[in-house]
Structure 1
Amino acid sequence: MLHAVIMAGGSGTRFWPASRKMQPKQLLALSGQRTMIQSTLDRLGDLVPQNQRWIITNQLLTDAVREQLPELPAENVVGEPCKRDTAPCVGLAAAMIRRIDPDGTMVVMPSDHVIASPDKFQAAIAAGEKLIDEDPTRIVTFGIKPSYPAESFGYIERDEASQIDAAGVDAYAVKQFREKPDQATAQRYLDEGTFYWNSGIFLWRASTIFDALEKNAPKMSQHLTAIADAMGQDNFGEVLTKEFTAIEGTSIDYAVMEKYKNVVVVEAPFPWDDVGSWQALSRLHDPDSNGNTVVGSHVGIDTGGCIVVGEPGHTVVTIDVKDLIVVQTKDATLVAPKHAEERVREAVKALEEQGMTDKL
């Protein structure tokens, strides 16, 4: 059976002040009426039944996630007691799924992407599932054809000589995973045409990925097995906290993907945006005639190229400014030049250091 695993433990600090500790980015509606995590599940359509959809999130967010996704069984929303990166997150889901469905296949994806064509997304997942049915030891990942020399994404280099027939989508063996590059290297990747952005969307048998973790991170897999063995028992929460906290965190890319030999990359046939920061809104909403992206009520006088976000009932007025990010919430306002948007994390850290935790 096909299971869907949504990684939803991020804090979304680059979207402060809208994103907060108890309401991070994945629980916000940034690209429509539905929140990001709701939209992530919506795009699965009928591909995965509700009882085979799993959310791995922060323990503090389990109630909020269950409230937004009442159609899911409560036990399918699992809260990590602490941050341990993506390998333990993926491994936990794999251990639990393997226990109830030994031959189960998992599609793993972040909760904060925007994919505008659900039908194309579902077709790509179905094609990837066929690749795994042909060879259950395969790992399938989805690469995004780059449109500019991005320095903020990891890259996947394909093996040109290994094109695979994959039910109407282009697929290749992976030659190498690459870390986030500098600008010159990113431009070279774009020019060469054999590199993809790493979307962070994966498809594999639960047993395959867990076996790989057992090989490369045996101590981690022991803790995860203990958690899975406690499924359905009264002490599951206690076991989860004890065993998960004892894990040394690392990314799934480092733990498995960069070492595994049988990896196939499918060129994603769907439009994709990772919505990493406030500037993503300019890609999700049509700018006005002056290049301003506005969510809310805004009056601009000699204003151009700005991103303006305001609470309902509040009007933001800007005069003689360009290329600013202005975000107003009920208890905090952010004003920053667009080129400095990565420094929003610094603002969050400064608030924490000054004891202003009520703003976080």
Structure 2
Amino acid sequence: MNQNHFVIIMAGGTGTRLWPVSTSRKPKQFHDLLGVGKTLLQMTYERFLAKFPKENIYIVTNKEYEGLIHEQIEGLGSQQLLLEPYKRNTAPCIAYAAYKIASKNPDASMIIAPADHLILKEDIFHQSIAVALDSADKSDQLITLGMHPNRPETGYGYIQYIPDSATIKKVKTFTEKPEIGLAQKFIESGDFVWNAGIFVWSAKSIIKAYEDFLPDLAEIFADGKSQYFSTNESLFVNKAYTQCVNISIDFGIMEKAENVFVLLTDIGWSDLGNWESLHEIREKDDQDNAAPKNVMSFNSTGNIVTTDKTNLVVIQDLHDFLVAEQDGVLLICRKNAEKEIKEIVNSVKIEKGDSFI
């Protein structure tokens, strides 16, 4: 195991597209969405623990999830849990982790990975990460993993690469979450891949990118060099985050930098970002229903059902629907109603308050 290689797991998102199971109090990364006895966070942590030193795995999350992290991840050192006082998207999150790790090890290279993604082909994943780390150690590259798209998905970022014989290809354009028409054109062109949101780079390279493209964030977190790994770190971070802009790493750096590269790979990836993607992954019956054994279905196809398993649930004449029950909330809607669920969540918050969100 290379002591200069670090892992940063981002575990602060809220995942409202999977409401009512995923809520602001307990987002999707803290749930066993696949019914395997482990949460998505636990699966992600154990995936990296198999190949990286335990002390080199860091988790960044909002401070309100501190208890959930400690419940689900045993033996995580206090300095390895980075608590954000406010939600400011991925650019501040990654900056905090990168500048902290660099203050301890300027020669570090790091993997940035969301806590809530599914990776089915772990051997290939680790092979791809090893290739990316080797390249990041030797060159000034911001590397992302690219997945071949199978549909015009509007919830993902797209990477257009320069087709050549290189293992790690130069990125031509980087587009975050396009409209459906543009996504369709990307698919038809054949030289676009999905951005999996998994990044690999050296501390030096990403810090230089912050200095070039997000200088305000660079200045904020550079000022903490003497505070990281000390008793004053939380005080510094609390003040720093009051000055941070809310911006993603994609918009802030990846779309602007010239040294962005992509490694094309097939790791069996899904971001499990909505109910439709979860239906694709879950085990299904002969009528394409993804439902636990307490559900009886009649003339119903293509549904996903997730409920309290102590209750008997019967569905009839439902096709491509979602039936989701969690903590006193029951939602029944079209399985692909991602936009509508966002609107529903906003309406519930306005009319019923935050207790259901």
Sequence identity percentage: 31
- Are the equivalent residues in 1 in contact too, given 2:110–2:201 (CA < 8 A)? yes
Secondary structure in structure 1 of the residue aligned to 2:156? coil
What is the aligned partner in structure 1 of residue 17 from structure 2?
14
Alignment partner of 1:152 is 2:155:
yes
Native 8 Å contact 2:62 2:83 kept in 1: yes
Instruction: Give the Å deviation of 1:171.
Output: 2.4
2:234 maps to 1:237: yes
Per the normalisation by structure 1, the TM-score is 0.94
Tell me: CA distance 1:228–1:63, structure 2 relative to 1, closer, same or farther (3 Å). Answer: farther
Cα distance in structure 2, aligned partners of 1:217 and 1:281? 35
User: Are 1:342 and 2:354 matched, yes or no?
Assistant: no
Kindly indicate whether the alpha-carbon contact (under 8 Å) linking 1:154 and 1:178 is maintained by their aligned counterparts in 2: yes
**CA deviation string 1:230-268 (max 9, x = no partner):** 123333222111111211121111221122212221002
Number of the residue aligned with 1:83: 87
Shift of 1:45: 4.3
User: What's the CA shift for 1:140?
Assistant: 1.1
Question: By how many angstroms is 1:113 displaced?
Answer: 0.6
Give the aligned CA root-mean-square deviation in angstroms: 1.6
State the one-letter code of the partner of 1:206.
A
- Alignment-mate amino acid for residue 35 of structure 1: T
Return the structure number with greater strand share: 1
Describe how 1:179-218 pairs up with structure 2 within 5 A: 179-218=176-215
Q: Partners of 2:351 and 2:224 in 1: how far apart?
A: 38
1:111 corresponds to 2:108: no
Number of aligned pairs?
A: 353
1:246 to 243, 248, 265: 243
Displacement of 1:328: 1.5
Q: Specify the SS of the correspondent of 1:181.
A: coil
Q: Give the letter for the 1:65 counterpart.
A: I
| Amino acid paired to 2:292 | V
8 Å Cα contact 2:301-2:318 kept in structure 1: yes
Q: Is the 8 A contact 2:6 2:110 kept in 1?
A: yes
**Mean CA deviation greater in 233-242 or 91-100:** 233-242
Q: CA deviation at 1:228?
A: 4.1
The answer to whether structure 1 residue 99 and structure 2 residue 103 are counterparts is yes
Residue of 48, 51, 61 corresponding to 2:52: 48
Tell me the equivalent position of 1:286. 283
How big is the shift at 1:152? Answer: 2.1
For residues 356 and 177 of structure 2, what CA distance do their matches in structure 1 show? 31
Query: Could you state the TM-score of these two structures normalised by the residue count of structure 2?
Result: 0.94
Give the whole-Å Cα distance in 2 for the aligned partners of 1:56 and 1:322: 39
Match in the other structure for 1:333: 330
SS across alignment from 1:317 = strand
**1:105 offset after TM fit, Å?**
0.3
The gaps in structure 2 that reach 5 residues or longer are: none
Contact 2:9 2:113 in 1 (8 A): yes
